[in-house]
């Protein structure tokens, strides 16, 4: 066991070095600023029906909830505090379409289990962070989008041979984030797995590297990023076993904001910004840009 811990410690320090952008490390820190699209800020845009928009407008910026430890999607540079990734780009393009400078967005890290509360109590204006749209959550918040379709997968250590799919999880220790759809799916559909929950997937990955758990489960888009950081240690196995349409979370009663977010997204898909944002972020994982899923503009609540 001491050797295993030593290896794990080395791997973790390699992760830290990668986060500092060491030459030769995989491009997981986020894209070079010059490669990112510039989103033109809409001039004269007005959305007085939206209380959220009015507050943001008078404050001069949106406050956006996000993740800070999900490579290619939402990552915070510990040195500068800057957020980057595909979700962050989605947040920026929406801000620009809604007439507020994306460079002024104040990002706040909110864990999976706390998203609904953060939107309900006005802590954030909207949320972009691998947030699956589903009917249960729609009772609590509104969703613009979807802007991307992910699917649940499994991350294991590189030398793992027993786990190839969710059917192999009986008696295995499986880690996921509290309050997430992948956690719920394992609980319901694979009750013989021993579930371990943390606030974040990065803590699950640390536990996987130190042999505290046998697998990490969440969306494939998230797992690919962790595997890319330490490809010699980790691998994603099997086929995706769910559909996770990513939405932009908004306060449930603010239909005006939700429709404006849908319009913004549709326009950014049409003008090529969505594709450029994908290529500069999640596309670095090696998966070419898919066609964005159809936007579900469901009726006002
Ligand atoms: N997309 C899933 C969810 O919303 C998993 C990723 C996450 O926890 O953000 O629960």
Give the list of residues 6+ apart from residue 3 with CB closer than 8 angstroms, or none: none
Ligand 1 atom showing the smallest separation from residue 246 Cα: 1
For 103, list phi and psi in degrees, rounded to 5: -70, -15
pLDDT of residue 190: 98
- Ligand 1 pocket test, pick from 154, 244, 249 with the greatest ligand atom count within 8 Å of Cβ, gives 244
What's this model's pTM, rounded to 2 decimal places? Answer: 0.91
Instruction: Give pLDDT tens digits for 246-266.
Output: 999 999 999 999 999 999 999
- Ligand 1 pocket test, pick from 113, 181, 216 with the greatest ligand atom count within 8 Å of Cβ, gives 181
- Could you tell me the domains of the chain? 42-150+245-285 (3.40.190.10), 152-237 (3.40.190.10)
Q: Which of 140, 139, 148, 142 is nearest to 127 (CA)?
A: 142
For residue 130 and ligand 1, the question of a CB distance below 6 A is answered with yes
Distance from the alpha carbon of residue 111 to the mean position of ligand 1, in angstroms:
9
pLDDT in tens, the chain (301 residues): 344 444 444 444 444 444 433 333 444 455 555 578 999 999 999 999 999 999 999 999 999 999 999 999 999 999 999 999 999 999 999 999 999 999 999 999 999 999 999 999 999 999 999 999 999 999 999 999 999 999 999 999 999 999 999 999 999 999 999 999 999 999 999 999 999 999 999 999 999 999 999 999 999 999 999 999 999 999 999 999 999 999 999 999 999 999 999 999 999 999 999 999 999 999 999 999 999 999 999 999 8
pLDDT of residue 52: 98
Give the list of residues 6+ apart from residue 286 with CB closer than 8 angstroms, or none: none
Give the list of residues 6+ apart from residue 300 with CB closer than 8 angstroms, or none: 255, 259
For residue 207 and ligand 1, the question of a CB distance below 6 A is answered with no
Distance from the alpha carbon of residue 28 to the mean position of ligand 1, in angstroms:
20
Looking at residue 112, what DSSP letter applies? G
pLDDT of residue 5: 45
């Amino acid at each position: 066991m001491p050797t295993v811990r030593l290896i794990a410690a080395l791997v973790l320090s390699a992760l830290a070095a990668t986060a500092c952008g060491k030459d030769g490390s995989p491009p997981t820190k986020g894209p070079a600023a010059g490669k990112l699209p510039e989103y033109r800020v809409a001039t004269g845009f007005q959305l007085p029906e939206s209380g959220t928009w009015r507050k943001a407008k008078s404050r001069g910026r949106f406050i956006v909830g996000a993740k800070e430890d999900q490579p290619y999607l939402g990552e915070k540079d510990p040195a500068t505090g800057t957020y980057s990734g595909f979700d962050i780009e989605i947040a920026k393009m929406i801000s620009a379409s809604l007439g507020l400078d994306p460079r002024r967005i104040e990002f706040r890290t909110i864990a999976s289990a706390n998203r609904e509360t953060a939107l309900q109590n006005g802590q954030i204006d909207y949320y972009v962070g691998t947030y699956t749209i589903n009917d249960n959550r729609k009772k609590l918040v509104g969703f613009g989008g979807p802007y991307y379709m992910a699917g649940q997968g499994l991350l294991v250590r590189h030398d793992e041979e027993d786990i190839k799919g969710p059917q192999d999880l009986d008696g295995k220790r499986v880690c996921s984030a509290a309050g997430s759809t992948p956690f719920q799916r394992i609980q319901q559909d694979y009750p013989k797995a021993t579930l371990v929950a943390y606030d974040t997937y990065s803590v699950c990955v640390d536990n996987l590297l130190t042999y505290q758990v046998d697998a990490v489960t969440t969306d494939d888009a998230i797992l690919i990023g962790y595997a890319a950081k330490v490809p010699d240690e980790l691998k994603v196995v099997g086929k995706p076993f769910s559909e996770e349409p990513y939405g932009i979370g908004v306060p449930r009663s603010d239909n005006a904001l939700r429709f404006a977010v849908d319009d913004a997204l549709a326009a950014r898909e049409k003008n090529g910004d969505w594709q450029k944002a994908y290529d500069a972020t999640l596309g670095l994982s090696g998966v070419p840009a898919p066609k964005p899923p159809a936007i579900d503009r469901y009726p006002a609540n």
